[in-house]
């Protein structure tokens, strides 16, 4: 999903008086007949045209979850793969709750049981707290709201003969004006309520399918009076962008990256659902070839019992600030921040940072510290803020104590959430992620510069642009002291957060190799042993290798060249969604695609064998999407070594 920002919503009209009069009369007739109201001078301009066929973001082609996502020209096709319950695909686009808006959605039910709904949802803080417009092929419609996971009983299904039915596009319009909100189906007013009945509680926006439904989405257009998009037109000119390879990214979520000043070390938090411990701090360091080597989990006590994350690391790597408060057993017991020292090569138990004015009324917190350790910027919710999460700063005083929190002001903080701050080495350039400033969809990364020593005067934030920001959620920006390399978080090919690098081409090029990850796994593998290829990706239902797979393929080529007598079997596996025979065929074709690419790169085909196992060898039971993601994989088995 990309968005197009249009400076004006004015429509060109012919100058001929007769044609102009006929045009206006027709519009008036539509209005009087219960059709779409004539757009007035105060109608919000087009803020966002959603291109639902972008190759990035939540609506890119994917097999994630029970809904398959496919592109057909400029159309988005959604296909629910199971009969059980509803399922949804969504993005994150936050409407300003204080301003009027109009949303137009053009959608079509292609196949479904007549009474099962296709729904558009918006303004949600999760699918259990969301606004809802549903239509069926039987020409019924409903508007309503889920609150606390339950349907608001005031809203009921009604007949909607203006719906076109199965196989034809229908247009749904949601128009909020002051204290009222109106719903139109194909230009006919369907329902009208107070805007209080449909609050904007969050940024979730998307589609819900039921049964084995297939549906097509043509367009989502949002009108709201928003500030213009301010772009940074120079900082990333001529640079390269790369999803980091399997030495860093895994099938699970990576977040919170912190680059060392010289760019040679990368710390981050990994949510590894396959382990007994989750949300631990990991580190990857550049090897001799300039690539980040296989990440390793930091030892305790920095990784204690509970969620662990790094806030700051000193240049000499002997002092660290981590999130949360720990007891004597390194168990998280409270929110806040702690410090730790490294003595004789070993990290000491983190001790509480005493910040008397610290307060956070939200469940999440994000923080960074200046390079000199004198300023702590946090993203929290507390009285006196401008939105759900604001950026505040604590400054270390001459006596070592921390000042009271100061809000960074309305130039930075908006009605939305400002999160994941990062203060560059100059102590003045601030990067942060925001859902309230005008961007490309969900949270985007922005940059601003402090104008004086007050921490409240900043240049207008600029968006880092479509090269960095996409349609969904980008955050956690961190860069080296010289600015030649930066790392940040965005959705990866399998949906979870991954780490991406952007910077000077000669530097980024060296990162496109898994320096020793697969080789290290191979070193401990005897004939008959299996090595998983974590970064092999395919489009949904197809055996075409995606571009993100090339780094892993090249690493495997290097291993085979280093071990010239080794032979391997390339094994393809799927989850259990869909037909068993089709899954077996798909896994075989995907294994063959990897084999063919290796042969194209010069590997003797006599050393390679491809085999598909379909859904017959799951790593874990297919109980959840996270489990199914683990089971969709390509491995190689060492035959001779």
Among 484, 510, 536, give the residue marking a domain's end. Answer: 510
Q: What is the pLDDT of residue 519?
A: 60
Which of the listed ranges 2-16, 170-184, 569-583 does the model predict with the highest average pLDDT? 170-184
Instruction: Kindly list the strands in the beta sheet with 296-297, ordered across the sheet, starting from the edge strand earlier in the chain.
Output: 253-259, 265-271, 280-285, 296-297
Q: What is the pLDDT of residue 261?
A: 93
Q: Judge whether residue 39 has pLDDT over 50.
A: no
Residue 508 pLDDT level (bands cut at 50, 70, 90): confident
pLDDT in tens, 590-605: 999 999 999 998 899 9
CATH of the domain at 624: 3.30.1330.60
Q: What share of the chain is helix, strand, coil (3-state, %, to 5)?
A: 10, 40, 50
75, 181, 269, 478, 622 from 92: Cα distances, Å: 20, 21, 23, 23, 27
Residue 56 pLDDT level (bands cut at 50, 70, 90): confident
- Same domain for 164 and 263: no
Tokens standing for residue 148:
């606390």
Phi and psi, residue 376, nearest 5°: -115, 115
pLDDT in tens, 57-80: 777 776 556 888 898 889 999 999
Share of the chain above pLDDT 70, in %: 89
Mean pLDDT of 520-547: 77
Mean pLDDT of 443-457: 95
Q: What is the pLDDT of residue 2?
A: 32
Residue 517 pLDDT level (bands cut at 50, 70, 90): low
Strand, coil or helix: 9:
coil
Instruction: Kindly list the strands in the beta sheet with 406-407, ordered across the sheet, starting from the edge strand earlier in the chain.
Output: 366-369, 375-380, 390-395, 406-407
Number of domains in the chain: 3
Residue 607 pLDDT level (bands cut at 50, 70, 90): very high
Q: What is the pLDDT of residue 63?
A: 53
Residue 274 pLDDT level (bands cut at 50, 70, 90): low
Distance of alpha carbon 334 from alpha carbon 347, whole angstroms: 20
CATH of the domain at 122: 2.60.120.560
Closest CA to 256 of 363, 353, 362, 366: 366
Q: What is the pLDDT of residue 90?
A: 85
Q: Judge whether residue 84 has pLDDT over 50.
A: yes
468 in Cβ contact with 486 (< 8 Å): no
Distance of alpha carbon 205 from alpha carbon 123, whole angstroms: 6
Among 475, 510, 545, give the residue marking a domain's end. Answer: 510
| Burial class of residue 566 (count of CB atoms within 10 Å of its CB; 0-12, 13-18, 19+) | middle
- Same domain for 261 and 212: no
CATH of the domain at 405: 2.115.10.20
- Same domain for 341 and 428: yes
Other beta carbons within 10 Å of 525: 16
- Same domain for 521 and 500: no
Average pLDDT, the chain: 86
pLDDT in tens, 351-388: 999 999 999 999 889 999 999 999 999 999 999 999 88
Residue 229 placed within a domain: no
Q: What is the pLDDT of residue 10?
A: 25
- Same domain for 172 and 136: yes
Q: What is the pLDDT of residue 65?
A: 65
**Range name among 40-49, 140-149, 153-162 with the lowest pLDDT average:** 40-49
484 in Cβ contact with 260 (< 8 Å): no
Residue 285 placed within a domain: yes
233 in Cβ contact with 148 (< 8 Å): no
Residue 50 pLDDT level (bands cut at 50, 70, 90): confident
Closest CA to 597 of 587, 588, 608, 586: 608
Q: Where are the beta strands (DSSP E) in 148-239?
A: 150-151, 158-159, 170-177, 180-185, 188-194, 204-210, 214-223
Q: What is the pLDDT of residue 337?
A: 96
Residue 504 placed within a domain: yes
Q: What is the pLDDT of residue 20?
A: 37
- Same domain for 218 and 269: no
Of 440 and 210, the one with more pLDDT: 210
- Same domain for 408 and 285: yes
- Same domain for 301 and 271: yes
Other beta carbons within 10 Å of 485: 23
**How far is Cα of residue 575 from the mean position of the Cα atoms in its chain?**
23
Q: What is the pLDDT of residue 502?
A: 93
Q: Judge whether residue 456 has pLDDT over 50.
A: yes
Residue 234 placed within a domain: no
Residue burial 468-482, b: 16+ Cβ < 10 Å; e: rest: bbbbbbbbbbbbbbe
- Same domain for 247 and 185: no
DSSP state, residue 417: B
Residue 252 placed within a domain: yes
- Longest CA–CA span in the chain (Å) reads 89
Residue 33 placed within a domain: yes
Q: Which domain holds residue 74?
A: 2-223
Residue 121 pLDDT level (bands cut at 50, 70, 90): very high
Q: What is the pLDDT of residue 521?
A: 61
**How far is Cα of residue 488 from the mean position of the Cα atoms in its chain?**
11
Residue 232 placed within a domain: no
Distance of alpha carbon 160 from alpha carbon 138, whole angstroms: 9
- Same domain for 210 and 74: yes
Q: What is the pTM of this model?
A: 0.80
Q: What is the pLDDT of residue 518?
A: 63
Mean pLDDT of 541-551: 81
97, 361, 387 from 411: Cα distances, Å: 18, 22, 13
pLDDT in tens, 179-215: 999 999 999 999 999 999 999 999 999 999 999 999 9
Q: Judge whether residue 617 has pLDDT over 60.
A: yes
Residue 81 placed within a domain: yes
Among 482, 510, 538, give the residue marking a domain's end. Answer: 510
Mean pLDDT of 260-279: 81
445 DSSP β-pair partners: 433
- Same domain for 143 and 54: yes
Distance of alpha carbon 566 from alpha carbon 560, whole angstroms: 7
Q: What is the pLDDT of residue 33?
A: 37
DSSP annotation string for 311-351 = EEE-TTSSEEEEEEEE-TTSBEEEEEEEEEEEETTEEPPPE
- Same domain for 106 and 72: yes
Distance of alpha carbon 448 from alpha carbon 397, whole angstroms: 25
> Which secondary structure element, helix H or strand E, spans residue 567, and what is its range?
strand 567-573
Distance of alpha carbon 39 from alpha carbon 510, whole angstroms: 54
Residue 523 pLDDT level (bands cut at 50, 70, 90): low
Q: What is the pLDDT of residue 245?
A: 85
The CA-based dihedral angle spanning residues 262, 265, 271, 275, taken in that order and rounded to the nearest 10 degrees: -170
Q: What is the pLDDT of residue 531?
A: 84
Mean pLDDT of 431-458: 94
464 in Cβ contact with 443 (< 8 Å): no
Of 607 and 54, the one with more pLDDT: 607
Mean pLDDT of 454-462: 95
Q: Judge whether residue 286 has pLDDT over 80.
A: yes
Distance of alpha carbon 340 from alpha carbon 300, whole angstroms: 11
Q: Is the peptide bond before 301 cis (omega within 30 degrees of 0)?
A: yes
Q: Judge whether residue 499 has pLDDT over 80.
A: yes
Q: What is the pLDDT of residue 441?
A: 81
Of 211 and 40, the one with more pLDDT: 211
- Crossing angle of the two packed helices 580-600 and 550-562, in degrees rounded to 10: 60
Query: CA angle 209-211-216, nearest 5°?
Result: 40
């Amino acid at each position: 999903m990309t968005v197009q920002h249009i400076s004006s919503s004015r429509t060109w009209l012919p100058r001929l008086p007769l044609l102009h009069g006929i045009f206006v009369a027709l519009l008036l007739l539509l209005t009087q007949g219960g059709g779409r109201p004539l757009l007035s001078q105060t109608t919000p301009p087009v803020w966002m045209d959603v291109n639902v066929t972008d190759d990035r973001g939540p609506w890119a082609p994917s097999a994630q979850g029970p809904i398959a996502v496919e592109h057909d020209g400029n159309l988005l096709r959604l296909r629910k793969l199971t009969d059980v319950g509803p399922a949804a695909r969504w993005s994150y686009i936050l409407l300003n709750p204080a301003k009027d808006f109009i949303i137009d959605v053009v959608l079509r039910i292609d196949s479904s049981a007549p009474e099962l709904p296709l729904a558009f949802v918006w303004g949600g803080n999760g699918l259990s707290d969301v606004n809802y417009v549903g239509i069926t092929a039987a020409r019924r419609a409903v508007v309503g709201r889920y609150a606390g996971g339950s349907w608001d009983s005031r809203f009921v299904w009604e007949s909607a003969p203006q719906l076109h039915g199965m196989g034809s596009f229908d247009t749904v319009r949601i128009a909020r004006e002051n204290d009222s909100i109106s719903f139109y189906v194909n230009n006919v007013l369907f329902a009208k309520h107070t805007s209080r009945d449909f609050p904007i509680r969050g940024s979730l926006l998307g589609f819900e399918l039921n049964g084995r439904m297939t549906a097509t989405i043509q367009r989502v257009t949002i009108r709201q009076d928003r500030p213009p998009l301010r772009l940074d037109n120079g900082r990333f000119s001529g640079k390269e962008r790369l999803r980091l390879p399997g030495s860093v990214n895994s099938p699970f979520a990576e977040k919170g990256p912190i680059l060392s000043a010289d760019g040679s070390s990368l710390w981050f938090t990994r949510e590894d659902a396959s382990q007994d411990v989750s949300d631990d701090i990991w580190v990857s360091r550049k090897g001799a070839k300039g690539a980040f080597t296989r990440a390793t989990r930091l030892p305790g006590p920095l990784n204690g019992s509970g969620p662990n994350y790094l806030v700051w690391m000193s240049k000499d790597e002997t002092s660290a600030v981590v999130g949360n408060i720990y007891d004597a057993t390194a168990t998280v017991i409270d929110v806040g921040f702690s410090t730790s020292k490294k003595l004789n090569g070993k990290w000491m138990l983190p001790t509480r940072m005493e910040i008397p004015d610290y307060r956070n009324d939200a469940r999440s917190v994000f923080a960074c510290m200046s390079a000199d350790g004198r300023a702590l910027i946090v993203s929290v919710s507390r009285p006196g803020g401008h939105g759900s999460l604001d950026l505040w700063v604590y400054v270390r005083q001459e006596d070592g104590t921390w000042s009271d929190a100061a809000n960074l002001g309305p130039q930075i903080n908006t009605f939305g959430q400002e999160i994941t701050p990062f203060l560059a080495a100059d102590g003045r350039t601030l990067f942060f992620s925001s859902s309230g400033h005008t961007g490309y969809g969900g949270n985007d990364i922005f940059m601003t510069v402090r104008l004086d020593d007050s921490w409240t005067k900043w240049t207008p934030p600029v968006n880092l642009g479509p090269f960095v920001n996409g349609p969904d959620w980008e955050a956690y920006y961190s860069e080296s002291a010289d600015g030649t390399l930066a790392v940040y978080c965005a959705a990866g090919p399998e949906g979870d957060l991954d780490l991406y690098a952007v910077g000077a081409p000669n530097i980024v090029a060296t990162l496109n190799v898994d320096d020793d990850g697969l080789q290290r796994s191979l070193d401990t593998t005897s004939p008959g042993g299996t090595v998983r290829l974590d970064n092999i990706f395919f489009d949904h239902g197809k055996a075409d290798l995606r571009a993100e797979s090339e780094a892993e393929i090249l690493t495997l080529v290097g291993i085979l060249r280093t071990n010239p007598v080794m032979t391997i079997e390339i094994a393809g596996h799927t989850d259990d969604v869909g037909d068993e025979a089709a899954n077996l065929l798909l896994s075989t074709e995907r294994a063959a695609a990897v084999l063919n690419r290796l042969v194209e790169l010069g590997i003797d085909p006599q050393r390679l064998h491809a085999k598909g196992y379909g859904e017959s060898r799951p790593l874990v039971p297919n109980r959840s999407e996270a489990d199914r993601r683990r089971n969709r994989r390509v491995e190689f088995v060492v035959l001779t070594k």
